[in-house]
Amino acid sequence: MNQFLDMVLIGISAASIYSLMAISMVLVWRSTRVVNFAQAGMALLSAYIGYELVARVGNFWIALPLAMILGAAFSAFIEFVLMRTLQKHSSQGAIAAIAPIIATLGLLGLIRATIGFIWGHADVLLEPPLSKVGFTFGETTIVMSPMSLFVLLFVITLMIIVSIIFQKTNIGLALRASAYAPEIAQLAGIRVSGIRTLGWAIAGAAGAAAGILQTVNGTGALSPESLEFSLLLVFGFIAAVIGGLESLPGAVLGALILGLVLAAVQIYISGALVFIVAFLLLLLVLIVRPQGFLGSKAGRRA
Amino acid sequence: MLRINNLTVDHGAIRAIHGISFSVEKGQLAAVIGSNGAGKTTLMRTLSGLKGAENGTATWLDHNLLHGKPEHHVRQGVSHVSEGKSVIAQLTVEENLDLGALWRRNRVEAKATKEEVFTLFPRLGERRKQLADTLSGGERQMLAIGRAYMSRPALLLLDEPSLGLAPLVVEQIFQSIRQIVDSMGVTVVLVEQNAMGALKIADYGVVLNLGTIAASGKASDLIADPAVRTAYLGF
């Protein structure tokens, strides 16, 4: 029973961070049809910025939202400068589909190199602001700590805010319309290119939160070559694909499935199998239900 | 008034429109008819800013239609309902309508316009919370026209609203289009393969053939013209 509870808590905790990453992949995919491999680098950069802000401001609770805002601005800048330029100059054929993706790979390398240049290649430490010792009830200590509880609640709050923005506001309507049918949105008077940049900005904020929360929830160590951030990208992407790559609730569902399955493997079988199982899950979903669980077939065609 | 002068448009490597000229008076309904590949859709896409032109001019009042994106033209009172029931299936009926008025940034006016749309098409009012995906073909077309109307256009470009619809539904939609012209003072350019149906409700007609104008004039004169009758109206 205790093992099962641990599995659920570990699974949900991991899922909350995967879902942020998955959401940022989905937002970028929906707004520009680009799989953004640089998302890992952008999240890593945000974590470093968070580290720098904590060092300067001395307060994690101010650093977190500030880093998210900067992450949003950086992401919007990338869309505005890099993606628009690429779209303008390679608008036709296979190259138009591939060029932006290759560019995001290049950007990933560039960001990592820049981080190494600024902060060095040795580990820096972003201290968790809350205790990471699990809550104790009588005799038993559970794996949920104040830190991981905060992460979970923060992510849930962000999800609620994002879903209110998307479902209830005019901006959200414009974001959805531009994602589903850019031409019709344009004919309806929506400035679609600005909305695309906004989509990237929200993705950047979510990615920044993912980067910082993953760091403080983990070892706290940051390095330009961080393997954790590569895994974050991969797991976020897998979660997004499970959910259909189009759907925000799908991304959260995909993250939950992935988080729980990986936690079960880790607890009941072996931690060494986590990576293999994650890929098997991706393959399984792509074979059995390529449109994902909440994606539409029409969406995949677009 | 809508003035098109010597308009030339390429579609890829093919010249789709060869220097055509015509104009439409304010408050009139002009039907542009012709068979498949005559250049009708290309003409509409050019006028709404989805496509660039090679040569010529096109103006609505004193607004240049050959310069700027569709979202720019919408703000100048030009709305386009593209071919094939241009609604967004994943949004509700009401969201599709709201979309057309977002740029106006005036909730009160938008709400009033939405009520006008529901008066024009009561079926949309009954289905306002439904996803557009669940609508019938005719209802989708009503929604597409309603969405364009939400932008309060002075010039409405309609591309084949009758496509794939049952004759009875087509008649209903055509009557609504006439009503938009008569009671709301909107100028409409209606592109149609259903030539007879379109000319019957139109004031003015243009017959396009392979990118050139084969005939043009008062709609009633075109219907009476023996050459147009045999070639395009089928009797």
Give domain limits for chain A. Answer: 2-301
Contact: A176, B98; criterion CB under 8 Å: no
Helix (H/G/I), strand (E/B), else coil: B95: helix
Q: Measured between alpha carbons, how far is residue B127 from residues A239, B134, B143 in Å? A: 35, 9, 10
Q: Which of B88, B98, B150 sits opposite A184 (nearest CB)?
A: B88
- Model pLDDT for residues B130-165, shown as the tens digit of each residue: 999 999 999 999 999 999 999 999 999 999 999 989
| HEC string for chain A | CHHHHHHHHHHHHHHHHHHHHHHHHHHHHHHHCCCCCCHHHHHHHHHHHHHHHHHHHCCHHHHHHHHHHHHHHHHHHHHHHHHHHHHHHCCCHHHHHHHHHHHHHHHHHHHHHHHHHHHCCCCEECCCCCCCCCCEECCEECCCCHHHHHHHHHHHHHHHHHHHHHHHCHHHHHHHHHHHCHHHHHHCCCCHHHHHHHHHHHHHHHHHHHHHHHHHHCCCEECCCCHHHHHHHHHHHHHHHHHCCCCHHHHHHHHHHHHHHHHHHHHHHCHHHHHHHHHHHHHHHHHHCCCCCCCCHHHHHC
A184 in contact with B at a CB cutoff of 8 Å? yes
Would you call B142 exposed, middle or buried from its count of C-beta atoms within 10 A (0-12, 13-18, 19+)? buried
CATH fold group of domain A2-301: ABC transporter involved in vitamin B12 uptake, BtuC (1.10.3470)
C-alpha to C-alpha distance for B169 and B166, rounded to whole angstroms: 5
B111 in contact with A at a CB cutoff of 8 Å? no
**pLDDT (mean) for B39-58:** 94
Phi-psi region of B15 (alpha: psi -120 to 50; beta: other; left: phi over 0): beta
Would you call B133 exposed, middle or buried from its count of C-beta atoms within 10 A (0-12, 13-18, 19+)? middle
Give the residue, A285 or B190, on which the prediction is more confident.
B190
A173 contact residues in B (CB cutoff 8 A): 91, 95, 98-99, 102
Contact: B103, A190; criterion CB under 8 Å: yes
Q: Which of A187, A192, A296 sits opposite B82 (nearest CB)?
A: A187
Residue B232 confidence (pLDDT): 80
Instruction: Select from B88, B105, B151 the residue whose CB has the most chain A CBs within 10 Å, as the one to mutate to test that interface.
Output: B88
pLDDT at B235 over 70: no
B65 in contact with A at a CB cutoff of 8 Å? no
Contact: A189, B81; criterion CB under 8 Å: no
Instruction: Select from A184, A191, A297 the residue whose CB has the most chain B CBs within 10 Å, as the one to mutate to test that interface.
Output: A184
Q: Which of B152, B142, B45, B48 is closest to B105 using CA atoms?
A: B152
Residue B233 confidence (pLDDT): 79
pTM of structure: 0.90
- Model pLDDT for residues A167-188, shown as the tens digit of each residue: 999 999 999 999 999 999 999 9
Q: Which of B75, B90, B102 sits opposite A180 (nearest CB)?
A: B90
Structural contact between residues B161 and B198, judged by C-beta atoms closer than 8 angstroms: no
Residue A99 confidence (pLDDT): 86
Residue A3 confidence (pLDDT): 85
Contact: B148, A184; criterion CB under 8 Å: no
B131 contact residues in A (CB cutoff 8 A): none
- Model pLDDT for residues B74-112, shown as the tens digit of each residue: 999 999 999 886 899 999 999 999 999 999 988 999 999
Query: In this structure, are strands B29-33 and B187-192 parallel, antiparallel, or unpaired?
Result: parallel
pLDDT at B220 over 50: yes
**pLDDT (mean) for B211-216:** 92
Give pLDDT < 50 ranges for chain A. 297-302
Q: Which of B215, B203, B229 is closest to B30 using CA atoms?
A: B203
Task: Return the exposure string of A103-132: e unless at least 16 CB atoms fall within 10 Å of the residue's CB, then b.
Answer: bbeebbeebbeebeeebeeeebebebeeee
Residue A45 confidence (pLDDT): 96
Indicate the class that CATH gives domain B2-233: alpha beta
A176 in contact with B at a CB cutoff of 8 Å? yes
Rg of chain A, C-alpha, whole Å: 19
- Model pLDDT for residues A89-130, shown as the tens digit of each residue: 776 677 777 888 899 999 999 999 999 999 999 999 999 999
A250 contact residues in B (CB cutoff 8 A): none
Q: Measured between alpha carbons, how far is residue A150 from residues A6, A18, A213, A286, B41 in Å? A: 17, 15, 9, 33, 56
pLDDT at B71 over 50: yes
A192 contact residues in B (CB cutoff 8 A): 71
B88 in contact with A at a CB cutoff of 8 Å? yes
B69 contact residues in A (CB cutoff 8 A): 186
In chain B, residues 174-203 whose CB comes closer than 8 Å to chain A: none
Residue B70 confidence (pLDDT): 94
B151 contact residues in A (CB cutoff 8 A): 188-189
